[in-house]
Amino acid sequence: MARAVVPVMLLADDTPLFFSVKQMLAAGALALMLYALLWEAGNLVNLPYKRIGFYNFCLWNETAGELQCLEHNDLQVMGISMLGVVLARVCVYTCLVFCIFYPIFVANVKCTEEAKGWKVILIILIIKMIILSGGLGMFLLQTSQWIQPSDFTGGFLALVATQALLLLQIFTVTINLSWVKNTHPC
C-alpha cells in the first residue's frame, strides 16, 4: 500500500518537482509548436521536389525543372477545399496562441491552488488537443492525395510530438486535480 502512495506523493502539487514537470511539458509543447509553425513556416512536407504546408502547396514542374507553387484557383480545381485549409490553419495556429499563454495560466492557478482553476487548466488542455488534432486532420484529409507517409518532415513530426506532450500534460493535470480534491475537499 505504501508503494502506491509514494509515486503520487512525489508528484504532489506542493512539490517544486511537479510544478517544474508541468512547466517543462508546457515549454516543450510551445517550442515544438514554434518550430513547426514559425521556423518550418507551417510546412508539413519540405522536400526538394515537394513543399506542402498550411501556406504552401508546391509541386515539382518537370518542364520548368523547379518547384511550382499553386494558387488558390489551382487548388480548388484539384479538389482542395479552401474553407477546409483555412479552418485547419485557424485551428492549428490557435493552438499555438493557447500554448504561448498556457504557462501564465498554470502559474496563476498554482498561486491560488483552487480545484476550479485546475479544472479550467484541464479544459484548456483538452481544447488545445482537440483543435490541434482537428486542424491537422482537416489539412491531411484535404491534401492526402499528394502526400505519402514518407514525405513528412520536421514540421509534421513536431506537431505530432506536441500532441504527445499535450496528452502528458492532460495526464499530469488530471493527477494534480485528483490530489487537490483529496487534500483540499472544500
User: Is 51 a domain residue?
Assistant: no
User: Is 4 a domain residue?
Assistant: no
Task: Supply the CATH number for residue 166's domain.
Answer: 1.20.120
Which of 19-28, 38-47, 59-68, 96-105 has the least mean pLDDT? Answer: 19-28
User: Is 61 a domain residue?
Assistant: no
Q: Closest Cα to residue 45, out of 137, 146, 151, 150?
A: 151
Residue with cell 495556429: 93
Q: Which residues contact 153 (CB under 8 A, 6 or more apart)?
A: 40, 43, 44, 45, 46, 47
The DSSP H or E segment spanning 45 is strand 43-47
User: Is 112 a domain residue?
Assistant: yes
User: Is 25 a domain residue?
Assistant: yes
Task: Report angle CA 17, 173, 138 to the nearest 5 degrees.
Answer: 125
Question: Is pLDDT at 5 greater than 80 in this prediction?
Answer: no
- Among the ranges 11-15, 16-20, 88-92, 113-117, which has the highest mean pLDDT value? 88-92
pTM: 0.83
> How many Å apart are CA 137 and CA 62, to the nearest integer?
30
Q: What confidence score (pLDDT) does residue 164 get?
A: 96
Q: What confidence score (pLDDT) does residue 168 get?
A: 94
User: What pLDDT digit, counting tens, does each position of 93-152 carry?
Assistant: 999 999 999 888 888 887 776 778 888 889 999 999 999 999 999 999 999 999 999 999
User: Is 71 a domain residue?
Assistant: no
Q: What is the mean pLDDT of residues 73-97?
A: 92
Q: Could you tell me the residue range of the domain that residue 106 belongs to?
A: 15-39+80-179
Question: Is pLDDT at 86 greater than 50 in this prediction?
Answer: yes
User: Is 184 a domain residue?
Assistant: no
> How many Å apart are CA 2 and CA 4, to the nearest integer?
5
Q: What confidence score (pLDDT) does residue 179 get?
A: 73
Q: What is the mean pLDDT of residues 169-173?
A: 90
User: Is 53 a domain residue?
Assistant: no
Q: How many domains does the chain have?
A: 1
Q: What confidence score (pLDDT) does residue 38 get?
A: 94
Q: Report residue 15's pLDDT band, with 50, 70 and 90 as the boundaries.
A: low
Number of H-type helices and E-type strands within the chain? 6, 4
Q: How many CA atoms lie within 13 A of 65 on its CB side?
A: 0
Question: Is pLDDT at 3 greater than 50 in this prediction?
Answer: no
Residue with cell 494534480: 176
